[in-house]
Structure 1
Amino acid sequence: MKVLTARQAWEMLEKDPENATGNADDGAPRPILVDVRTPPEWMHVGLPDADAMTAPLLCITWQPDRQQEFVEALLEAVPDQQTPLLFLCRSGVRSHHAALLAENAGYADVSNIVDGFEDQHGPGKGWRSSGLPSSYMPLSGS
C-alpha cells in the first residue's frame, strides 16, 4: 500500500490536464477516490469536490463490523482490480483499514491518504485544511 498526503492525492486527481495523471487517451485507468466516511460526515463535514477532479468519487462507508459488505460493494463498484484506488477518511485510520481490505481483495494499486479529509497531523494538513476543493452534498432522505 502506498501512503499519500491529501495534496499528493490531489495532484493525481485534479482536472488540470498539465498536472493530472492517467489521461483517458493513454489507456491507463483513471484513479478513483474512495471516501470511506459515514453519510453524516459527508453531509455535515463535506466531500472532496468531484467536479474539480478528473477522477470519480466513490463513497462507501467502512465499518469494522461490516468489512465483507465493504469489500462486496467495492468489487461491484470497481470490477477492474488494476484501477488505482485512493482511500480517504477523516484522519487516515479508517482509510488505512479499507485500503488493506482492498489489497487483500486483489486490488493492485492501493493508496491511503494519511492525513485524511479533516485532520492536521502527520505529514500533511488534510484535504480541507490544505484548501483542496470540497463541497457539501445533502443526502436525500436525511
Structure 2
Amino acid sequence: MTVPDVSPAAAWAALKSDPDAVLVDVRTDAEWTFVGVPDLSEAGKQPVLIPWQVYPSMQVNGAFAEHLRRSGVTPLSKVFYLCRSGARSLAAAQAAQAAGFPNAANVADGFEGPPDAQGHRGATAGWKAGGLPWRQR
C-alpha cells in the first residue's frame, strides 16, 4: 500500500470537513515547543503529538503504533502525518499502515518545508508558508 502525499492546504481542508480526520504531528517535543504546532481549533480539533523519533538519540519510537491507539486513532480514522519537511512523516505513515492504520496520508513539505536560499525553513513551502493556522506551544 502506498502512502499518498497531500498538500498542507488539502490536509487542512480535510481536517475541517471530515470529523474522522486526524493530524498526527510526528516531530520531536523540542520542535513542538520551539518551532510551533498546527492550530486546529477552527476545525474543533487538536493535533495528536507523537514523536516518530525520540530526541536526542533520534531512534525510532518503538511504541509509535501503541501511542496511536492510545490517542484514539482507529483503523477507520483518516490520518494525516506531519513532520518538518515530509520525510519522517512518510516513514511514520508507512509504519502506521503496516500496523493496521490503512488510511494514512503524508503532508508534503511538512510544517516548515525545505530551506530557502538563506538556509531558513518556513518561508517557501509547508504548513507555515501556506498561511495555515499555527501557534507557539
SS at match of 1:101: helix
Aligned to 2:13: 11
Q: In structure 2, how many angstroms separate the alpha carbons of the residues matched to 1:79 and 1:136?
A: 24
Q: In structure 1, how many angstroms separate the alpha carbons of the residues matched to 2:51 and 2:61?
A: 10
Quick check: 1:97 aligned with 2:97?
no
Alpha-carbon distance, 1:127 to partner: 0.2
Structure with the largest fraction of helix: 1
Aligned to 2:108: 114
- Contact 2:39–2:46 (CA under 8 A) maintained in structure 1: no
1:82-119 CA-to-partner distances (Å, cap 9, x unmatched) read: 11110000000000000001100011210000110001
SS at match of 2:60: helix
> Which of 71, 76, 86 in structure 1 is aligned with 2:80?
86
Alpha-carbon distance, 1:80 to partner: 2.0
> Which is further off, 112-121 or 84-93?
112-121
SS at match of 2:100: coil
Structure-2-length-normalised TM-score: 0.81
Q: In structure 2, how many angstroms separate the alpha carbons of the residues matched to 1:12 and 1:35?
A: 16
Q: In structure 2, how many angstroms separate the alpha carbons of the residues matched to 1:38 and 1:58?
A: 12
Aligned to 2:118: none
Alignment: residue pair count? 123
Aligned to 1:2: 4
Aligned to 2:48: 58
Quick check: 1:134 aligned with 2:134?
yes
Alpha-carbon distance, 1:79 to partner: 4.9
Structure-1-length-normalised TM-score: 0.79
Could you list the structure 1 runs, at least 4 aligned residues long, displaced by more than 3 angstroms after superposition: none
Q: In structure 1, how many angstroms separate the alpha carbons of the residues matched to 2:44 and 2:105?
A: 17
Amino acid at match of 2:13: E
Amino acid at match of 2:9: R
Output the aligned Cα RMSD: 1.8
SS at match of 2:106: strand
SS at match of 2:63: helix
Aligned to 1:48: 38
